[in-house]
Amino acid sequence: MLNEAEKWLFDLHGYLVLKQAVAPEDVRRMVELSDAWHACDDADLPAPLKSYSDPSTKPTTPRSINQVEYVDGVFQRLVLNPEIMRVVLALTHNSPQHLGCALTRNTRQSDELAFHGGVSGGIHHPANDYQAADGKVFATFLNAGVSLVDVPPGTGFVCIPGSHKSHFPRPADVTITDGPPVVDNVSVQAGDVVLFTEALCHGALQWTQATPRRTVFVRYCTSYASWSPGAGPLEAYRDRIPEELYELKQMTGFRHRKKVVERLLSDMGEE
């Protein structure tokens, strides 16, 4: 499901850019919902939406609204997006689990996001495994950053390419504002997806545009990853999501093939 060029790029850099993976009408719907929900106080958000941070106490922290896939079908379609899942299936060896969705909003007043992920103290966190062997690549924790707006150069997502394989801690003087060849700033268009392993050292430059940056982060892991905190579907809201998404959120053994995976593989023409 990954061609040889994609395997090479992901192994080399730790991320792939999936151009125009999300339909324009879905992008517009998610922008509408982002603007409506981010205009609400936390107490007024429809259940089970929750803010990662409270903009009333620290207004410069970018706000993230989580569990959006339980409230609108456009996010359910996004989780099972064929182009995203094509890569997720390949990188998890057909054993994916959906962890959650976060709808974020950045403005000119929002804080930048310093580097995180990658090597800490000379070792990778065991939850963020990455391997390449026998013509395949493998990652246990993946993040699909779905851009809902155009992101010009000089702002947005940055990373240290190749840091997902590094055996040495990042020097303290390397920051998100450093340029090539150490730091990549990835410019994307609305509907593009930056899919990366969480083992990659990554961050975000301060937003510079007049209108907000709107992004959906869709997170996946291997289905047998018992280390992930809070993993699994919200049983109280099971009736809000389709059966395939409910199954995708479940933790299973590494030998178990989920029905939703079988359906996706069949749709892609894979055995």
Distance CA 52, CA 260 (A): 29
User: What is the tens place of the pLDDT at every residue in 115-129?
Assistant: 988 766 555 555 568
pLDDT < 50: residue spans in the chain:
none
Q: Is 106 exposed, middle or buried (0-12, 13-18, 19+ CB in 10 A)?
A: buried
Q: Which CATH number fits domain 4-267: 2.40.110.10, 2.60.120.620, 1.10.340.30, 2.40.50.140?
A: 2.60.120.620
Whole-structure pTM value: 0.94
pLDDT tens digit sequence for 143-196: 999 999 999 999 999 999 999 999 888 999 999 999 999 999 999 999 999 999
pLDDT for 226 = 60
Q: Where are the domains of the chain?
A: 4-267
186 CA to centre of own chain:
14
Q: What pLDDT score was predicted for residue 60?
A: 85
Q: Which residues make Cβ contacts (< 8 Å) with residue 107, sequence separation at least 6?
A: 207, 212, 213
User: What sections of the chain are H helices per DSSP?
Assistant: 4-13, 24-38, 73-79, 82-91, 243-248, 259-267
Residue 225 confidence (pLDDT):
73
**pLDDT more than 90, % of the chain:** 84
Phi-psi region of 269 (alpha: psi -120 to 50; beta: other; left: phi over 0): left
